Amino acid sequence: MDLTKVLADTLLGDQSISALSKSSGANKKQVQQVLINGLPTLIRNMQKNASTKSGAASLAKALSDHARDNTSDVSAFLGNADLADGAKILAHILGDKQKTVVSDLAKKAGLSTDQTSTILAAAAPLLLSLLGKKKEADKADLGGLLTSLAGSLLSGGAPKKGSSAKKGGGDLGDVLADGLSSLLTDGKGQGGALGGILGSLLGSDAKTKKSGNKKKTTSKKKK
């Protein structure tokens, strides 16, 4: 099954939203907004972390460990989520940007930073478990898996018939890309805090590609 659909059916499914709403005290719409806006950021940062040898090794181990988690009952899994473990996962993924990311997500959803942190900390182990299970099932390369998923989330992917974000199904790439675009601005057409973070991440990739293209052009001229 396509990974974006797996994430949509699980993380944005009714059971997950209800469980996270209960544990955080946020309403279901607010929980959904935090996840829709937050997941692309988590995936993009995981991709960045995996670009280094040590980062890739650390993330691969985390995915392998969480792949063993029993997620057959999502409600029970999230209801008994180890928030301390989830907080550590977020710290590893987001680094020194964690406070800014959480604050921006909280503002967008109309929640406190504590509520937002609770939602993300509970969802983080489930996210790693789903990614770990997919990686092992497909015997996929970590970098390739994250690159493919990040591309889908950031581009929105191709809309699918019968998609329904409210029910948690449908094309997650399309849903999350819409959420991501709202975070890239502050609602007034200006760049938001999280938009700046993602912009720097995407900008670094663009500069690398541009530099590579420039070298190729220079090489051709010398010939």
pLDDT for 1 equals: 58
pLDDT for 212 equals: 53
Using a 10 angstrom Cβ sphere, with 0-12 exposed, 13-18 middle and 19 or more buried, the burial of residue 201 is middle
**pLDDT band at 146, cuts 50/70/90?**
confident
pLDDT for 97 equals: 94
- For 222, the token pair is 């010398």
4, pLDDT greater than 70: yes
CA 93 – CA 87 distance, rounded (Å): 10
- CA proximity to 125, closest of 208, 16, 206: 16
Across the range 125-148, mean pLDDT stands at 89
pLDDT tens-digit series, residues 46-66: 999 998 999 999 999 999 999
CA 50 – CA 60 distance, rounded (Å): 9
**pLDDT higher at 154 or 21:** 21
Per-position b or e across 59-91, b if 16+ CB within 10 A of its CB: bbebbeebbeeebeebeebbeebeeeebbebbe
Contacts for 118 with CB less than 8 Å, ≥ 6 apart? 23, 24, 83
Which three-class secondary structure string do you get for 78-119? HHCCCHHHHHHHHHHHHHHHHHHHHHHHHHHHCCCHHHHHHH
Across the range 105-117, mean pLDDT stands at 98
pTM to 2 decimals?
0.72
**pLDDT higher at 166 or 16:** 16
- For 79, the token pair is 């209801």
153, pLDDT greater than 90: no
**pLDDT band at 140, cuts 50/70/90?**
confident
193, pLDDT greater than 50: no
> DSSP secondary structure string, 136-151?
HHHT--HHHHHHHHHH
CA 150 – CA 183 distance, rounded (Å): 16
26, pLDDT greater than 90: yes
Cβ-contact 63, 135 below 8 angstroms = yes
pLDDT for 154 equals: 60
Most confident of 65-69, 184-188, 192-196: 65-69
164, pLDDT greater than 80: no
181, pLDDT greater than 80: no
